[in-house]
Structure 1
Amino acid sequence: MPKITDNESIRPLLTFSQLLQTGYTFLEKIPFIYTINPKLKEHRNQVMQMIKDSHILTLPDKFNELFSKDGWICYSGLSQTVLEQSVALGSTNKYEEAKELLIEYVDEKMVEFILTKCSSRPEFKTRLDLLKLLKIDYLEQRYHSCIPLLLALIDGLVNDISKHVGFFTEKSDLELYDSITSHETGLPFLKLIMNTSRKKTTEEEILIPYRNGILHGRDLNFSNKEVASKCWWLLDCVIDWSDEKRIDKQPIESISIKESLEKYNKTQELSKRISLWKKRPIKSEKYWQSQNLITIEQGLPEHTLLIFLNAWKEQQWGKMFPILLHNIGKHKGKAIPEIKSDYQKIKLLNFRIDSSEDQTPSCTNISSYLEYVKDDIKQSSNISISLNYANTENGYPELRDEPNGSWYILQLSLRQILFS
């Protein structure tokens, strides 16, 4: 059976790591080489650490081997800590402890994070009110009510996103190229398990969300935390699937070991530049209130924010389109009506920057004061607006000032005004 480690994005890294390990194992047997070339010794610790870190690449396969038969699969959004701990427990005959870890991972914080992700994705956002109610049911242990509706919503979500069929339909195609979540051993396998035929009515407790048995009234004893947590787990996987489906990654030509080494060297150079990065000094509120589009240097996040807010005030939706992070790769004709729907209901009157603080090499939070009319009521808010410096083609974070990046507004940081 194909493995996740065979993925295009993982296989070259593992191969390179294995070559390095073989090479340094050989050098350890002839230590006088270090005398001839002392630089090899200097780089040894760095290389050995990289080899040690590469073990994380093999964990998704191990996770699926251990837990997929019981209704859990590894996905891109899974916490690395939980991934490592669960595999460690499951591999050392502590399977029940591993199961408990995975069940408890789906706590209030995780569910809230799922809802946050749903709020910025169109098909998910339309179901957000119901999902918020299901969160309450889950936390208050009303598993009998949240499980069936979660299964139904997931089916409808996949139907809307695929524009073809629902999640549990036999013809649904959930496998995607170079994916962890949608690998053959991941989401497609999970669908097969959850879609198992349940032809007899049973009162025996089940621990897997059998869709047919639950929604057709055959599995009567399904109301428990393990089944409910697996439904939220599945929803998080579907979010990953929908994001990857939009990217529609296709195979590329394989790269040589030399190219892998060059790629690694570029990564190391970027790491050095990141380590040298420092936050800008925090300026006073008086300073920011005296700034405008003319006085603020182009290329700074504050300049981008003022362009965005001015376009909002003037209802120039086309100018807002290229500044919103979630619009990267989206067709302008489709995105502008969505922007208009989100922002037209709020008439922005005035705005100003009160303070700005760099958070990471690719993120700045800008405290802003906004005056606006919403629902015919004049209001004002102090809000922290997040801007990310991201790759202009794929939206991945970049080190600020890198040539292939730009500043983008994270719409999620405006949710208290837009969606409350």
Structure 2
Amino acid sequence: MTKNAARGRGEADPPPVSGYPSAYDIPKFKKMAAELAGLKLLLSLSPKMRGQMKELEAELERIVGTVERFYQVLGERHWVFHDNLRLDPLVQAVSTGDADTAEAALIAQYRDEDRMRWVLLRTKRVSALRPRADLIDGAWRDYQEGRYYSVVLVLLSVMDGFVNDVGQQRRGLHTRDGEELVAWDSVTAHHQGLAATQASFTKSFKKTSAEPVFELYRNGIVHGNLTNFDNLVVASKAWNRLFALVDWLHALEEAARPEPPSPSWTDTLKKLADNAQQHKAMDKWVPRAASVAADGVEAVLSEPVVQAATAMLEAWKTRNYGKLAPFLHEFTKAKSRGAFIGDIRKRFEVSPLDDYEVIRVEMRGPGLAHVWVSLTVAGEAKESELRWLHVDEDQHVRIETDSRGAWQTVQTDPLAIIGRAWQ
């Protein structure tokens, strides 16, 4: 293998020091545009494909154009576009060119309880954030209940510790230069993105001020010089910055990987079409719920996630650990299937399940569901809330209608299932 072949993608194609000049310059968007142009040329003689090509071009422009307009409108207010944002609510908001309108639409996404549960679950899966999961949950409760000062202080500490644990440098976010936050091929790496926020984040304040602030001034807030930051805007910016940092970490990891073989034009067309279809399906998705008491047993059992939950509980009850294994969403697994099943046996055989009954289900996200059940363990009945993700074989969360996904519970031992309620 040559030296160049061993280099990571970020090293082979490093981003500009100050970030990408526009969203159109971000590599994944440039690559998609180039692939579309090539496909358009190849398929120019195929009238059947012209309509599909126009749809793909329009969808690409909708995505990239919205990211670019987002930064044009909100970049000076130090909001960062990240991958967990819903696109549709922002398309119209940023197209107005009015910063207040766009900011209100953005904050509304952080106030959406169903959406945030989905995003927080994915966020806490990041290895460097798992030790901080309780702090994140606490900040979310405070955000819902209007204790914005607490949200800001807690998330600032979470971000500092999180960034400190990334890589080998052992330096918190407040010690980082903006250039260090420019990650290859990330929407956060726009020149008005994450790197640009560091100037205000680390700005020093020597005098105490009680004037209202609406920026995430980390130094002024933590050192007690700015006392009037207890508001929805600053708290929402704290969530925005945390999710942007998660994207930054993912981009660093992707940048370190070698460039994969170039896909064929057919594979590219399928991927573009699939991405467009996924975006549309997720934007159209709406939450729903059903309970045995109100809607009947059939309504509840008709939900695929309930069918998965029933199969999982039946396997636990009958002590069939081989059938139980596929329903457990493990971050890391044993080297072999046999070892994995043996590990599951050790966890579950000490708490045999006598009986179970499904009570209700809530579909809280495109690939996120909660199923309430009554479990009888050691003769004692307890109600439990099982949390489920719809994931593919690579552990990527998929919309519930995607055939590549399967339902798995994130509670992978009896203690988590019986003794720990969702917060």
Cα deviation, 1:69-111, whole Å, max 9, x if unaligned, reads 3121110001112331332122xxx222222222333215155
Instruction: Confirm whether residue 153 of structure 1 aligns to residue 153 of structure 2.
Output: no
Instruction: Confirm whether residue 237 of structure 1 aligns to residue 236 of structure 2.
Output: no
1:190 maps to which residue? 197
Cα deviation, 1:288-324, whole Å, max 9, x if unaligned, reads x9xxxxxxxxxx968983797379x58x7x9977764
Contact (CA 8 Å) 2:73, 2:102: kept in 1 or not? no
- Higher RCO, Cα 8 Å, sep 6+: 2
Match of 2:392 among 390, 393, 396: 390
Instruction: Confirm whether residue 143 of structure 1 aligns to residue 148 of structure 2.
Output: yes
1:167 maps to which residue? 173
Which whole-Å CA distance do the structure 2 matches of 1:362 and 1:113 have between them?
A: 8
Secondary structure of the structure 2 residue equivalent to 1:165: coil
Q: CA RMSD in A?
A: 5.0
Contact (CA 8 Å) 1:321, 1:332: kept in 2 or not? no
Instruction: Confirm whether residue 411 of structure 1 aligns to residue 410 of structure 2.
Output: yes
Q: Which runs of 5+ in 2 are unaligned?
A: 1-18, 282-295, 302-306
Distance 1:187 1:372, change over 3 A: farther
Contact (CA 8 Å) 1:17, 1:54: kept in 2 or not? no
1:46 maps to which residue? 52
1:371 maps to which residue? 376
State the 1:212 CA deviation: 0.5
Secondary structure of the structure 2 residue equivalent to 1:371: strand
1:105 maps to which residue? 109
Which whole-Å CA distance do the structure 2 matches of 1:60 and 1:412 have between them?
A: 36
Match of 2:152, as an amino acid? I
Contact (CA 8 Å) 2:71, 2:80: kept in 1 or not? yes
State the 1:194 CA deviation: 1.4
Distance 1:367 1:413, change over 3 A: farther
Match of 1:73, as an amino acid? V
Contact (CA 8 Å) 1:21, 1:48: kept in 2 or not? no
Cα deviation, 1:113-155, whole Å, max 9, x if unaligned, reads 4544455556545444444443344344333333223212221
Distance 1:177 1:102, change over 3 A: same
Contact (CA 8 Å) 1:178, 1:249: kept in 2 or not? no
Distance 1:343 1:193, change over 3 A: farther
Which whole-Å CA distance do the structure 2 matches of 1:224 and 1:231 have between them?
A: 11
2:74 maps to which residue? 67
Cα deviation, 1:225-255, whole Å, max 9, x if unaligned, reads 2112111222233344455566666251674
Distance 1:261 1:227, change over 3 A: same
Contact (CA 8 Å) 2:212, 2:228: kept in 1 or not? yes
1:215 maps to which residue? 222
Secondary structure of the structure 1 residue equivalent to 2:63: helix
Instruction: Confirm whether residue 178 of structure 1 aligns to residue 177 of structure 2.
Output: no
1:30 maps to which residue? none
Which whole-Å CA distance do the structure 1 matches of 2:402 and 2:146 have between them?
A: 48
Distance 1:223 1:11, change over 3 A: same
Which whole-Å CA distance do the structure 1 matches of 2:251 and 2:354 have between them?
A: 38
Match of 1:56, as an amino acid? R
Q: Which runs of 5+ in 1 are unaligned?
A: 28-36, 276-283, 290-299
Cα deviation, 1:210-232, whole Å, max 9, x if unaligned, reads 10011112223323221121112
Match of 2:217, as an amino acid? Y
Match of 2:205, as an amino acid? R
Instruction: Confirm whether residue 11 of structure 1 aligns to residue 30 of structure 2.
Output: yes
Which whole-Å CA distance do the structure 2 matches of 1:369 and 1:240 have between them?
A: 38
1:295 maps to which residue? none
Instruction: Confirm whether residue 349 of structure 1 aligns to residue 360 of structure 2.
Output: no
Which whole-Å CA distance do the structure 1 matches of 2:259 and 2:118 have between them?
A: 33
Which whole-Å CA distance do the structure 1 matches of 2:271 and 2:150 have between them?
A: 51
Percent sequence identity over matched residues? 21
Distance 1:382 1:81, change over 3 A: same
Secondary structure of the structure 2 residue equivalent to 1:379: strand
Secondary structure of the structure 2 residue equivalent to 1:106: helix
Distance 1:198 1:401, change over 3 A: closer
Instruction: Confirm whether residue 263 of structure 1 aligns to residue 268 of structure 2.
Output: yes
Which whole-Å CA distance do the structure 2 matches of 1:133 and 1:310 have between them?
A: 34
Distance 1:401 1:352, change over 3 A: farther
Contact (CA 8 Å) 1:351, 1:371: kept in 2 or not? yes
Contact (CA 8 Å) 2:387, 2:409: kept in 1 or not? yes
State the 1:266 CA deviation: 6.6
Contact (CA 8 Å) 2:152, 2:235: kept in 1 or not? yes
Match of 2:380, as an amino acid? K
State the 1:378 CA deviation: 2.9
Which whole-Å CA distance do the structure 1 matches of 2:360 and 2:251 have between them?
A: 33
Cα deviation, 1:155-200, whole Å, max 9, x if unaligned, reads 1233235462222222694444333245665333333431223344
Q: TM-score, structure 2 length as denominator? A: 0.65
**Which has the higher mean CA deviation after the structures are superposed, 241-250 or 100-109?**
241-250
Figure out how many residues of one structure are paired with residues of the other and give that number.
364
Q: TM-score, structure 1 length as denominator? A: 0.65
Query: Which structure is larger by alpha-carbon Rg, 1 or 2?
Result: 1
